[in-house]
Structure 1
Amino acid sequence: MPIDITITQYLNDFEDWPLIDVRSPGEFIKGHIPGAINIELFSNDERAHVGTVYKQQSQQAAIDLGYQYVNPKLQSFIDRSKAIAPNKKVVVHCWRGGMRSHAFAQHLQDNGFTEVYVIEKGYKAFRGIALNSFDEYKINVLGGYTGSGKTHILNELKDRGEQVLDLEFIAKHKGSAFGSIGYGQQPTTEQFENNLYWEWRNLNTNHPIWIEDESPNIGNVNIPQYLFQKMRANKLLFIDISKEERAKLLVNEYALDNKPKLADAIQRISKRLGPQRTKEALDFLEQDNFYKVALITLEYYDKYYLKGLAKRDEDKIEILKLEDTDSKRNAQTILEYYQKHLYVGI
């Protein structure tokens, strides 16, 4: 018989093992344990059909229908599982650790798999941990206008041994209308939360964790409310860099991408820029004058950031003027500032 393990046991002792998620593709895309491989017992349509039969007829009728769908796939389950776990040792889960995962696990064991474990209460147990593991921690919040190079500073801080939680990297978006450029498709909010926890669990919560100041959402995903509230209640170190220097950085980051994406991003903030400034930005873009484009778009983003800054407690905002966007020098300056003023979160 396959052996049941708790989600805590999995995270502590089996994280390096191949993990098979047997839920439908739709369930998996919405949210899954990072690193899991989806070998679906039912397709999305099959799962919906089985659920309908369960509600309208009976549990036994749903089970019988499930076997009809599953039986032709039995060999493919073995083949795909062997490809994932050639040593025939694997962990399996479904939504609540019920019939789907246990039937799949038993099938693997009946066909030569030597060690098969099933996560009790399945993906639901993981979600419980993922959403309730941010109790006590210290954060240092780094803010600044668009183009200040905050992400580069965070990367430099990480290289220097500081703990960093890069929300934009996890969200696959930089937070602005231009934020998707350079990234693929964003995860769902649920998967963003899962990935956030996966990064968080490896951090030492006894030491400060650096986080970039953000709006409640990054692109199409939402920052968990408990984390966002903590960020807003914390002290903010705001780095103040001139618009001209920031425009130079934006040119380096975005000008190499294709112009249609940049034009689309400009159109998405056209109501904020106004028709005249939008036209000017698009004209400069056509002329490959990316610096002028950056200066115009910063008019909107600076006002937007100032509006958000005005909602914060002034006593919790520290402003640090910096000459340019040199991330190495700025990271050093910021570390020295924190060491001097002992701002390590609240």
Structure 2
Amino acid sequence: MAEQLISLDEFWSLREQFPMIDARSEGEFEQSHIPGAINIPILTNAERIAVGTLYKEKGSEEATLKGFELVGPRFHVILRDALTQFPKKKVIVYCWRGGMRSQILSWLLTMVGFEVFRLKGGYKTYRTHTYELVRKDWNLLILGGKTGTGKTRLLQKLQESGEQIIDLEGLANHKGSSFGSIGQPAQPTVEQFENLFAEALRQLNPAKEIWVENESRKIGRLVLPDKFYEQMLEAPLIDIQKSAQERIALIAEEYACLPTDELILAVLRLKKRLGGLRTSQAIEAIVEENHSDWIANLLIYYDKAYTFDLEKHEAGKTIQLDLSGMDEETSTKKLLEAKSQFHGKYTNPTH
């Protein structure tokens, strides 16, 4: 069967129907890719370097011949892999620019009866779109609050109630503190984070408000796009408050069960900011499983850091909302009522 070239606009609907194959090298794929794609490299990392070097030194013809020399002996392996993984024989294929590698893979697959949709412009076209999307103007509403106020849980409750949210920490695989990577999968690269971020934004209505948890510019080792972060600082912010006891209990629930050695390493990463004495006290409390003590100790630092970050937000756009003693359902209702102060009257969607 012949291949069909598709535009990015056509790609969005077709990818819901067919699996995607990324024909780039394993290194390129690990750096970033279209979420959900499966990597079947036409050239490996080393082969790609060799062909690229030859292209610079002797031109495209020599490089093309070398490419076929390297990949030709693997044609049967590539085909068997594809036939095993995609028995329905309908796939979307892309490489970096929609050029030779995806053309070769498409040609191979059509030889054994595949229906192939090849993305024009390749991954570069997709990446240009995601790069621009996370830097567009968005209608944000920031959910703030000190560590332990349960912002992430409330964000999920807001989503369940029909609100639009972006869970930046979920996309980044990091909870945004020295302890934030414990028990989490490895963080994506900055580029892949932006791809995931853009995919989440694509599902939302840009005309409506989007709830985002208050974050610093960095989430673990990832950096938010400058324009999006600036919009966060300029957006209305609801600063939720909980009692110290509630905050300590929530943090203990999430972190006390984690490995002791990882908790200690997280404290040591803060040593310069905590000072020697408080660091030693926190570690001793962790070892003794006195979780309330080490959490209360660290909250002194985190509360100061939060107050500093809060001062960066645009003046006159912050509402304080005390949710002490309230369950998540009641807290969500209060947040929606507070939202109406910025975005008009709140009406309960269940009535």
Asked if TM exceeds 0.5, the reply is: yes
Deviation, structure 1 residue 14: 3.4
How many pairs align?
343
The answer as to whether partners of 1:145 and 1:305 remain within 8 angstroms in 2 is yes
Deviation, structure 1 residue 334: 0.9
Aligned-pair Cα RMSD in Å? 1.5
Separation of aligned partners in 2, 1:11 and 1:324: 45
Matches within 5 A, 1:119-198: 119-133=119-133, 135-198=136-199
The answer as to whether partners of 1:18 and 1:84 remain within 8 angstroms in 2 is no
Q: 1:336 to 1:253 in 2, by over 3 A?
A: same
Structure 1 residues without counterparts, runs of 5 or longer: none
SS in 1 for 2:132: coil
Deviation, structure 1 residue 78: 1.1
AA partner of residue 286 (structure 1): V
Counterpart position of 1:4:
5
Structure 2 residues without counterparts, runs of 5 or longer: 346-351
Deviation, structure 1 residue 321: 1.7
Counterpart position of 1:14:
15
Deviation, structure 1 residue 341: 5.2
Matches within 5 A, 1:57-96: 57-96=58-97
Separation of aligned partners in 2, 1:239 and 1:169: 20
Separation of aligned partners in 2, 1:14 and 1:177: 37
Separation of aligned partners in 1, 2:71 and 2:221: 36
Deviation, structure 1 residue 30: 1.0
Q: 1:222 to 1:16 in 2, by over 3 A?
A: farther
Counterpart position of 2:217:
216
1:13-42: CA deviations, max 9, x gaps?
Answer: 333311000101111111110111011111
The answer as to whether partners of 1:149 and 1:325 remain within 8 angstroms in 2 is no
Separation of aligned partners in 1, 2:166 and 2:263: 28
The answer as to whether partners of 1:22 and 1:40 remain within 8 angstroms in 2 is yes
Separation of aligned partners in 2, 1:229 and 1:128: 21
SS in 2 for 1:46: helix
Deviation, structure 1 residue 221: 1.1
Separation of aligned partners in 2, 1:250 and 1:323: 15
Counterpart position of 1:107:
108
SS in 2 for 1:314: coil
Separation of aligned partners in 1, 2:311 and 2:228: 20
Counterpart position of 2:349:
none
Counterpart position of 2:118:
118
Percent identity between the two aligned chains: 38
Separation of aligned partners in 1, 2:30 and 2:296: 38
The answer as to whether partners of 1:240 and 1:321 remain within 8 angstroms in 2 is yes
Deviation, structure 1 residue 83: 2.7
Deviation, structure 1 residue 128: 1.4
